[in-house]
Structure 1
């Protein structure tokens, strides 16, 4: 379903539920992480891309003094008092949205919150590690910025969305998801420096395509060991800050050579986590040169190395993901594979020879069905443009 078709569906359902058409529509894409696993909150580098699937929100003012959020895909609804910025016991997808409101208020961007109705539609598979929760936060933030004419940059919106997930949805995530959604470029990947937040673009050649393969294991960061991994990285930072003669703010400030000389004196778990981060930072940066040189077989090898590092050092993979990557290695037409996103279930990212993509995908689906007991969903990824206000919005046009 295209963003346009999704907008039309949201419009119909919003009218049916709230007896009025939406005044503002926003769309925020999901993302794929090519290389740079868990490096964003370590102030490292990530190669990622916004994708064609995402979240669409329809927004209108409410007639009653209550905010109502209606999810078409979950077939659920939640309500809260717009004058109460305390995040109450709500589903995580509502808590993060309330968190965005609360943070806008705390930062002086929002003096008061009007009562509103929101309808949420999605063509983004949930639980596959493609950033459905962040897409919802970003779309909600864009809707509020548009309707309330808030003076706030996209970088600040990304920071607010990340903090809402961390403080109110319980996930100590980094900035990767909202940055990719807010700064995605059609047919391009983003190499983001998560210390400076500078973004460089690189466009893969048409002879390769990316695809996402489900594993049947639902990915949900708040119920995984994601927060533990971040704490273990922070423990490594604390060790290096005391052991090294120069300032250490994050793992970005530590070299592989320093890790090699000091790791014997570390707690083994933080030492392994840090080793993964060093490798991922190097692979993400190296990948840009390989893409520009057309060396896609070498790019695929970096993806396999990344997955091995997830198994050996970061321990954030799953048996199902490991199996699908192992099968990808022996299927003609697959150039590379690795887990994508935070891990602990979800999906496998594939780099495919465009001319053999259909054949390779079918072979991988067969292998998955025989082992997993269900046929994995495999869909091609089209690198997409950033989150945006959609046509049909009746508010003042965005500059």
Structure 2
């Protein structure tokens, strides 16, 4: 409809183009086709605007090949008109190189910078794997007055090239100059959260939900922030709203399962996580989270199967390998040692992994190795500006157990970070509340 308005501005006085345009924008396709046929008969099939509107009507009704023929007729009657070329370019939806060439030709014919053409060129370049060139076209679209669409496209392309600062600047420019929709606000808020600006992210995500309460991306991001601040009830309400809008959203099911697990509603949590894993069988994170929940519910055999699937999809994820080691140890499998060692090799600077490896050595009566890993863990905690109090508490507990076993701890640093909060064991639950695992 926008293209029809562009062409009808140039109609000669006394023509019936205005009537043809009015019928089209009202959705009166039958009357529109009748008027177009009358104009074609009166001009011996040389009425360009009638061909153009016929092509739009046929495209709206799904008759794409016939619409393409009408647009080619427009190009034949007036080769210098870029509007028909733009419509032809849209037909090469999965053939982005052909579409790119058609849009480039339309850009040559255009008498002024056209933001629609530049946005289309940016999307085609992105699909062809040239994000840098796509970002240049998107920047040209912004300069040509492309508004919110051009600015959000530029931000996505800059983010694809790794320029997070440029993407943030593009979103800020869009928010300052245009009244942006909920999708743009949600994307900008999620990027702000990723960049470490939770205050601004909360404002943008709240504005997105105020404008569109069913915006699931904003609801998911806000729920993640609330989970980080341990406001599980508020996170649950956001996740339920996201699932109401998109019942098949895998991320919403996964996060809802983790939130329910934090509330110790294990049956409901396993149901949500199982649903997410079934909906996305090739998602490593869905399988990882389900395996973690099964470990919490003391079902190590089932957990190992899920974690092994996650590791096969993403072999370099150290936490998945660490959980495999925990599952194997609970099953009494000697391969647990190699899993712990593999996790430490994947991320040697991770204090949590090194502490688990120290605990594994201690439980296997390898006390000297446990002391060495405890020393590494203490050193890593000292390097951290804000050491995790839970890790510090667990390290202190492990050292106390080693001292009670008569191990010499002189090689350990003396200024181990103190635990600020008591250690909370979220795994320990009454045996009678959990289903037994079938080995």
Tell me which protein shows more strand as a share of its residues. Answer: 1
Tell me which protein shows more helix as a share of its residues. Answer: 2
Alignment TM-score > 0.5, same fold: no
Of structures 1 and 2, the one with the larger relative CO (CA 8 A, separation 6+) is 1
With normalisation by structure 2, the TM-score equals 0.24
With normalisation by structure 1, the TM-score equals 0.26
